Copies of this chain bind each other. A is one copy, B any other.
Amino acid sequence: MKHCFLILSVLLISLSLQAQENLPFGERREIVSPEIHPDNSVTFRLLAPNANSVEVTGDFLTQGRLPLTKDANGIWSCTTGPLPSELYTYSYVVDGLSMNDPNNVYYRRDVASTLNIFLIANGQADLYKVNKVPHGTIAKRWYTSPKNKMDRRITIYTPPGYEKSDANYPVLYLLHGMGGDEEAWMTLGRASQILDNLIAAGKAEPMIVVMPNGNVVQEAAPGESSLGFYKPQFQLPHSMDGTYEESFHEIIEFVDDNYRTIANKSRRAIAGLSMGGFHALHISRFYPNTFDYIGLFSAAINPNQSAQSHVYNNIEGTLLNQRNNGYKLYWIAIGKEDFLYQANEEFRKRLDLIDFTYLYRESDGGHIWRNWRIYLSEFVPMLFK
């Protein structure tokens, strides 16, 4: 009776195995997948003795799939060449059926899909790692939105030292794209790691980062609202129809009311990706003298033809006002292969015509999270200097 610790260990492990009833856990837990080698090559493994074909697919490949081969124990494997530093996603295809890697507990949801992830360090992705640096605090909070008639969930990053400081801080409003929510910049965008690491390196000012939910029909991300667990959809009602922009002041008021902010234009930034870039564009001109720093990451530009909101009246005139009021940085970033490239090119021409200055960053690649993480890591160091 006196020493049930060993019994506990043994029995808990055995219970854990039972909980996995019928899963080949005994063999499975010997398998490491993915295994990242010192030269940044990666070995994928899967125990599937009955399978006829196993392939791996993911954004570490430029195209197609990589076949795995089976050993005498029924373990399939393959090894890539050295990969550039990045946060990658992947999944397996087993006899034509897509599945996650049961040996990898790390994955990300993107709309209605979950994919496994792995990280190749020693480069850009060092910014996406949790490093031994001071860490900010992530809060999941709810604010009341009278205009949208609901309580809504919001993610707020406060920088290291915020709680013990008396200082007031600048604020970056960081907006997600279509299919995203208040989780997206944290899970897919690695925003807290990027901020922690840039601040620790002295490359970014300590700042509050506010990540609201831009889908006005949602209380919260899928699974976090009173709708329970349902299949997420890509496009939601009232997306990009002006409703979000009209109610955005509620978010600013909530933040200025609840955090030690420097509540003026010179210490307020807004940026977003895709639909969030669209929101950053229109919010920053719709609320005059509110933001000194604006970031458009692969931004959608023009409102839906059916959008009747007064937010989209007089776009040219409000841009002129924004120009005349002044701002510190208007940053437009897009990949050469982005389907919104032309729309952004035309927008820049419009801005040129009215002498609206901006900084332009053209990258490789398309409409992908890899670019948005890079854009965030480049944008943040330019803020509040």
Residues on A close to B: CB < 8 A? 1-9, 11-13, 15-16, 19-25, 29, 32, 48-51, 57, 59, 65, 91, 93-100, 102-107, 109-114, 117-119, 121, 129-132, 134-135, 137-142, 151, 153, 163-164, 177-179, 220, 222-226, 228-229, 231-232, 234-235, 240, 258, 274-275, 300-305, 307, 339-340, 342-343, 346, 366-368
Hey, which chain B residues are within 8 Å of A5, CB to CB? 240, 300, 302-305, 307
Query: Complex formed: what's the CA distance from A368 to B98 in Å?
Result: 30
User: Chain B residues with Cβ under 8 A from A225's Cβ?
Assistant: 130
> A223 to B105, Cβ gap below 8 A?
yes
User: Are B114 and A105 in touch, CB under 8 angstroms?
Assistant: yes
- CA distance in complex: A182, B15 (Å): 21
Nearest chain B CB to A342 CB, angstrom units: 8
7 nearest A-B residue pairs (beta carbon): A5-B304, A99-B99, A3-B305, A23-B98, A135-B142, A11-B339, A138-B140
* Distance, CA A5 to CA B178, complexed state (A): 11
Shortest Cβ distance from residue A1 to the other chain B in the assembled complex, whole angstroms: 5
A98 to B340, CA, bound (A): 40
CB-nearest residue of chain B relative to A107?
B114
Query: Given A3-B304, A105-B232, A15–B343 Cβ distance below 8 Å?
Result: no
Let me know if B65 and A129 touch, CB within 8 A: no
Q: In the complex where A1-B346, A8-B340, A95-B95 touch, is A118 in contact with B229 (Cβ < 8 A)?
A: yes
CB distance from A257 to the nearest CB of B (A): 9
Copies of this chain present in the complex amount to 2
Q: Please name all residues of chain B whose beta carbon is closer than 8 Å to the beta carbon of A138 when the two chains form the complex.
A: 139-140
With A137-B141, A229-B118, A304-B6 in contact, do A367 and B15 touch (Cβ < 8 Å)? yes
B-chain residues with CB within 8 Å of residue A142 when the two chains form the complex: 134-135, 137
CA distance A148 to B204 in the complex (A): 29
CA gap between A351 and B265 in the complex, in Å: 64
In the complex, which residues of chain B have a beta carbon less than 8 angstroms from the beta carbon of A224?
A: 130
Residue of B nearest to A129 (CB): B228
Residues of B within 8 A of A343 (CB): 1, 4
Q: Do B339 and A7 touch (CB < 8 A)?
A: yes
Q: How far is the CB of A256 from chain B (nearest CB, A)?
A: 13
A138 to chain B: closest residue by CB: B140
> Least Cβ distance of A131 to chain B in Å?
6
In the assembled complex, which residues on chain B have CB atoms less than 8 Å from the CB atom of A121? 228
CB-based contact B137/A151 at 8 Å? no
Output the least CB separation between A62 and chain B (Å).
11
Choose one: B7, B105, B131; the contact of A231 (CB below 8 Å): B105
Chain B residue numbers with a CB within 8 Å of A32 are 231
- Beta-carbon contact of B16 and A179 below 8 Å: yes
Q: Which residues of B contact A346 (CB under 8 A)?
A: 1
Partner of A223, one of B102, B106, B141: B106
Q: Which residues of chain B are near A6, meaning CB under 8 Å?
A: 304-305
| Smallest CB separation, A71 vs chain B (Å) | 16
Which chain B residues lie closer than 8 Å to A304 at the CB level? Answer: 3, 5-6
Is the beta-carbon distance between A29 and B96 smaller than 8 angstroms? no
Instruction: Give the distance to chain B from A161, nearest Cβ to Cβ, in Å.
Output: 11
| Nearest CB in chain B: distance from A272 CB, A | 14
Please give 4 more A-B residue pairs, beta carbons under 8 A apart, in addition to A12-B235, A22-B65.
Answer: A2-B302, A98-B102, A130-B220, A137-B139
Chain B residues whose CB sits within 8 angstroms of the CB of A107 once the complex forms: 114
A204 to chain B, nearest CB (A): 18
Pick the contact of A131: B95, B222, B226 (CB < 8 A).
B226
Closest residue to A117 on the B side, CB-wise?
Answer: B229
Chain B nearest CB, measured from A314 CB (Å)? 14
